[in-house]
Amino acid sequence: MRFENKIAIVTGAGQGIGEAYARALAREGAAVVVAEISEENGQRVAQEIVGTGGRALFVKTDVSSPESAANLAARAVEVFGGVDLLINNAAIFAGMRRESLLEVDYAYYQRFMEVNMNGALIVTRAVYKLMVERGGGAIVNQSSTAAYEAGNYYKIAKTGLNAITIGLARELGPLNIRVNGVAPGPTDTTATRTSVPPERLQALLSTLPLRRIGTTQDIVNTCLFLLSTDAGWVTGQTWCVDGGAVLKI
């Protein structure tokens, strides 16, 4: 029960890794705000957490909107009394367009970057003062090993997010708020199965030192460590959880 009496927000918590984060935090004692743009998915996750004895609240949230993020923060205070922990997980991934930088529709590109990169900053700006009121907190931003490869706007967004993690860690550290990132490699989720062709996924897995696809629990384990007091002197870092996909000095 590492997070007993803590209040956590998880964006994009209606499915996949975000859902796994929300459920894991609830199991370890946190009250969880399920911030999700899909009302159906968000309500389902929150209700199922409550149904198993946990505390959860669904708030329909568009992380690209400062107004929506402000409402998210206000609802967390209204129902649970504040915010201690934040996981910026929301992203456009399942079903995303795979087009070149020179050809992708610019309005789509702008929307994509607002969600996948700037959303973490927008939600952090909305909640960090609430963390300060409770003595500090911890934030984890969901990156990707794609950040370490050349490629399209998804990779660019995650590279930018890593830089945002570093910048926020420097600014929020004096306020006793730690900011880190998790960069999953290929992970067994519905989004991966529907967005990555099977032959491409198998080719990728064959190059990994650990030779298997990741599970959501692999990612959850690292994220919860970074949120916990066990990582109390860790900030500004993005940890690759990827079976060895990214090997760097």
Question: Which residue out of 21, 148, 153, 154 is catalytically annotated?
Answer: 154
Instruction: Give burial (CB, 10 Å; 0-12/13-18/19+) of 24.
Output: buried
State the DSSP string of 75-134: HHHHHHS--SEEEE-----TT-----TTTS-HHHHHHHHIIIIIHHHHHHHHHHHHHHHT
Q: What gap in Å lies between CA 61 and CA 135, rounded to an integer?
A: 26
Half-sphere exposure of 37 (CA within 13 A, CB side): 11
Chain centre to alpha carbon of residue 90: 6
Q: Is 109 a catalytic residue?
A: no
List the catalytic residues: 154
